[in-house]
Every structure is written in C-alpha cells, then in structure tokens.
C-alpha cells in the first residue's frame, strides 16, 4: 500500500509547540492578520519577524515526540511508500528521522527574499533590515506560506493523493484549505481514509475511520498495527 499522511499542529502539541485553534492556541494570542498575512508583513515587518523568531526558538527547544518517531519508523519498516505532507513549519518530522516530508506551508528554518525570491537557511534571529544574501535588498522574510498565498508542492501532493491506497490525517482541525480537502481527493481516487486526532476535526465525517486520542499515544499504536499486519 502507498500511504500519504497529512499532519497538522496537533502532532507537535505534545512536543510543546502551540497549535493554532485550540483553547490556548497561537491565534488566541496573536492576530493572524498581523503576523501571518503579506499585508501584515508590509505593515509591520518587525512584529512578524518577532513572531517567527519566537517560534524558531520554541522549535529549537522542542523535541520530536513518539508520534513523529512512529512515522519515521513506519517509513523505514513498512514495505510500501510512506509520504508525509505537513502543514507544520517545524522540523520535528525530519529530526525524528522521516525523509519523505513536504512542507506545504513552508519551513521556519528557511528564509526567502521578497524582492528576488532567493531562499536560504534562516538565521536564528531575523530583522527587517537584514539584506538579502543574493540581491542585497532589505526584503527578507520567513519562508512560510501566509494566508492568501499559494501553498507549496500542490501538484506533487495531488499526484500522491491520486496514487495512494491509504490517506491518514493526524493533528489537524480540518479548517484550512486546500489541506482540508485532501481527504476527498484521496477517497475520490479509491483510497481508504483514517483520522487520528485529539477530537473529531471539522471534516471528520469525510473519513472512513476515526480514532481519538493524543497523537503520542494513538499514532504509535496505529503504526504498530500497520507494521505487524504487513
Ligand atoms: N494529539 C492529536 N491531536 C491534537 C493534539 C494532540 N496532542 N492536540 C491538539 N490536537 C488537534 C486539535 O484537536 C485540532 O484538531 O490538532 C488540531 C490542531 O488544529 P489547528 O490548531 O487548527 O492546527 P492546524 O490544523 O495544523 O492548522 C492548519 O492553519 O493557521 C494555519 O498555517 C496554519 O498550518 C496551519 C493551518
């Protein structure tokens, strides 16, 4: 079987990284219009860099949890293809050992120049006056996809969904498209669909099977079943 796994902030919650829409989520503390839109960046780049500098620091201090490790084990021990599409901008999947990971909303660890689109590894702290290493213009920003911008790798992702036998969604609320529509694309291509989440997501009814619980518990249990059953 080819397995495509979509992950969201919930898989990193037990690593201490905040989710967005839970009770104490990031969008309850920051106005996403100010820190996660191109308009917000144009208005106040210093605030946006401050927000992402803080998230970069949190990410450095966090560690992958048992759910990230279980998915890395699945990629290594399962006979079929295992591909992760993550909405997360943290690098916990990679630090747990996963290799086939696509960051559709970009990565905290990368920077991009708004003037020339050059990309490079982000320094720990970024500021509006930082010159782009390629063109020198002070237009550097985190290489993350903001609201109103196009997610990355969409052609590759839809091709993988069209060819998968099992689509698993882990730790996402199903609020944000296009990711929230991946389950329909996979089901339309004949895949089985499974949701592993702390509580039913907004689009839980679209999944053939749903399991509730903390990812660090239910993801390793699911991986164990898949590996034992192959
Ligand atoms: N284990 C499993 N699931 C969890 C856990 C946990 N320990 N803790 C929280 N969750 C679930 C919540 O129930 C919720 O359904 O994770 C989900 C988190 O939802 P959001 O905070 O909306 O995060 P996400 O779905 O990743 O947001 C999608 O929205 O703001 C944008 O770009 C941002 O990538 C993000 C996108």
Q: Residue 118 maps to which CATH number?
A: 3.30.1600.10
Q: Are residues 180 and 72 in the same domain?
A: yes
Q: Strand 3-7 vs strand 106-113: parallel, antiparallel, or unpaired?
A: unpaired
156 CA distance to ligand 1 middle (Å): 23
Can you tell me the distance from the alpha carbon of 88 to that of 12, in angstroms, rounded to the nearest whole number?
A: 8
Residue 178's alpha-carbon distances to 45, 101, 175, in angstroms, are 26, 17, 9
Q: Are residues 101 and 200 in the same domain?
A: yes
Q: What does the angle CA 191 – CA 194 – CA 199 come to, to the nearest 5 degrees?
A: 155
Can you tell me the distance from the alpha carbon of 190 to that of 87, in angstroms, rounded to the nearest whole number?
A: 23
Ligand 1 pocket mutation pick from 12, 16, 18, 21 by most atoms within 8 angstroms of CB? 21
- 93 flagged as catalytic: no
Please tell me which residue in 49, 93, 103, 105 is annotated as part of the active site.
105
- Is 109's pLDDT higher than 90? yes
Q: Which residue blocks in 6-101 are alpha helix, DSSP H?
A: 10-13, 26-29, 32-35, 38-43, 45-61, 66-77, 92-96
Q: Are residues 71 and 133 in the same domain?
A: no
Domain boundary among 118, 144, 170: 144
pTM of the predicted protein model: 0.97
Q: Are residues 82 and 100 in the same domain?
A: yes
Whether the ω angle into residue 178 lies within 30 degrees of 0, i.e. cis, is: yes
Q: Are residues 187 and 229 in the same domain?
A: yes
Ligand 1 pocket mutation pick from 5, 9, 15, 153 by most atoms within 8 angstroms of CB? 9
Residues in the chain: 230
Output the pLDDT for position 66. Answer: 98
Assigned token pair, 95: 């630090």
pLDDT-based confidence at 194, cuts 50/70/90? very high
Q: Are residues 70 and 180 in the same domain?
A: yes
For ligand 1, whether the C-beta of 119 sits within 6 Å is no
Q: What's the number of domains the chain is made of?
A: 2
What strand order describes the sheet that includes 101-103?
Answer: 101-103, 82-86, 3-7, 166-170, 192-197, 209-212
What is the residue range of 34's domain? 18-61+110-144
Residue 210's CB: how many other CB atoms inside 10 A? 17
Q: Strand 106-113 vs strand 140-144: parallel, antiparallel, or unpaired?
A: antiparallel
The overall longest dimension of the chain from CA atoms, in Å, is 55
Output the pLDDT for position 20. Answer: 87
Q: Are residues 101 and 208 in the same domain?
A: yes
Which residue, judged by its Cα, is nearest atom 15 of ligand 1?
Answer: 173
103 CA distance to ligand 1 middle (Å): 15
Q: Are residues 13 and 82 in the same domain?
A: yes
Q: Are residues 117 and 133 in the same domain?
A: yes
- Is 140's pLDDT higher than 90? yes
Output the pLDDT for position 18. Answer: 85
Average per-residue pLDDT for the chain: 96
Output the pLDDT for position 22. Answer: 86
Point out which residues pair with 141 in neighbouring strands. 112
The minimum-distance atom of ligand 1 relative to the CA of 88 is 34
Q: Are residues 220 and 137 in the same domain?
A: no
Can you tell me the distance from the alpha carbon of 113 to that of 120, in angstroms, rounded to the nearest whole number?
A: 9
Q: Are 16 and 10 in contact (CB under 8 A)?
A: no
For ligand 1, whether the C-beta of 197 sits within 6 Å is yes
Can you tell me the distance from the alpha carbon of 109 to that of 208, in angstroms, rounded to the nearest whole number?
A: 35
Q: Strand 119-121 vs strand 101-103: parallel, antiparallel, or unpaired?
A: unpaired
Rounded mean pLDDT of 108-125? 96
Q: Are residues 124 and 200 in the same domain?
A: no
Q: Are residues 28 and 101 in the same domain?
A: no
Q: What is the CATH number of the domain that holds 187?
A: 3.40.50.1220
């Amino acid at each position: 079987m080819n397995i495509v796994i979509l992950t969201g902030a919930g898989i990193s919650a037990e690593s201490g990284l905040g989710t967005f829409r839970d009770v104490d989520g990031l969008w309850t503390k920051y106005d996403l219009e100010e820190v996660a839109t191109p308009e917000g960046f144009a208005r106040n780049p210093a605030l946006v860099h401050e927000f992402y500098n803080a998230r970069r620091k949190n990410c450095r201090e966090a560690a992958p949890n048992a759910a990230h490790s279980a998915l890395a084990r699945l990629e290594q021990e399962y006979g079929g293809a295992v591909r992760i599409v993550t909405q997360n901008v943290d690098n916990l999947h990679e630090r747990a050992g996963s290799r086939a990971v696509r960051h559709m909303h970009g990565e905290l660890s990368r920077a991009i120049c708004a003037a020339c689109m050059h990309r490079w590894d982000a320094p720990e702290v970024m500021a509006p006056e930082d010159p782009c290493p390629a063109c020198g213009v002070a237009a550097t920003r985190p290489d993350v996809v903001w609201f109103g911008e196009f997610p990355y790798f969409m052609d590759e992702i839809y091709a993988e969904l069209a060819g998968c036998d099992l689509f698993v969604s882990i730790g996402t609320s199903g609020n944000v498209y296009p990711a929230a529509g991946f389950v329909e694309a996979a089901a339309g291509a004949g895949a089985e669909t499974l949701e592993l989440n702390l509580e039913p997501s907004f689009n839980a009814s679209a999944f053939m099977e749903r399991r509730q619980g903390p990812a660090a518990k239910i993801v390793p249990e699911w991986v164990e079943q898949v590996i034992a059953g192959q």
